[in-house]
Amino acid sequence: MAVNKIFRSFDEAVADVFNGATIMLGGFGSFGGLPINLIAALAKQGAKNLTIIANMGGVGLELSSRIKPGGYQDHGILFENGQVKKFIGSVPALGGMPPTSPIEKLFNEGKVEIETVPQGTMAERIRCGAGGLGGFYTRVGVGTVVAKGKETKVINGKEYLLELPLFADFALIKAHKADALGNLVYRKTARCFNPIMAMAAKVTIAEVDQVVPVGQLDPEVIVTPHVYVHRIIEVPR
């Protein structure tokens, strides 16, 4: 029996996100390939003590107005709402750009924990989570703050760090098109972290520009197979 993965609203799609959940947020920059509508719904839903895994920590509406006329809303709203206890990612904040972003303010006040992860390392940690691997050794971060508290090993006379996998309860991702089964096609920079995050969560929720009938997507351009996708929400036109 086929499972209906298409949800009627963004609010409905994130209704079961629980306090203390770990959530992956797709996208590369602050609004490129970011599931903005799902993030807004999560902010409205109000789940607390979240661990957010994302490439960036978001900038928030105030700072974003310096980047794009009129500004835009991103996952900075989750920090503004006090919903996040920990951030894991590559670029927590855009330093040197007043006003400070919401995550910067909270970190300076000791209200949020930040784990900085080199970008390539984060991608590989997510892939390990998706593939059921126990981790991997890398030289990236050796001798820096990234190495603090991590297991090391000497391989061929060089020191390596053991990086552990990243896995999430929910992945909120952005794709260009989906069919009713949940096969996904991406557009441009949205293909960065979205596809690997889709594979590394118990529940993957995809915000898409368009849902098309099964069979309409070229199999050669499908990046995320439907088996990894649990919920689909089409952005209203």
Question: Would you mind telling me the total number of residues written for the chain in this entry?
Answer: 237
How confident is the model over 142-175, as pLDDT tens digits?
A: 999 899 999 999 999 999 999 999 999 999 999 9
- Arch. (CATH architecture) of 10-132+164-234: 3-Layer(aba) Sandwich (3.40)
* pLDDT range class, residue 1, cuts 50, 70, 90: very low
- How many other C-beta atoms lie within 10 A of the C-beta of residue 68? 11
How confident is the model over 108-122, as pLDDT tens digits?
A: 899 999 999 999 999
Distance CA 57, CA 80 (A): 12
pTM above 0.75, yes or no: yes
Structure tokens at 205: 């929720």
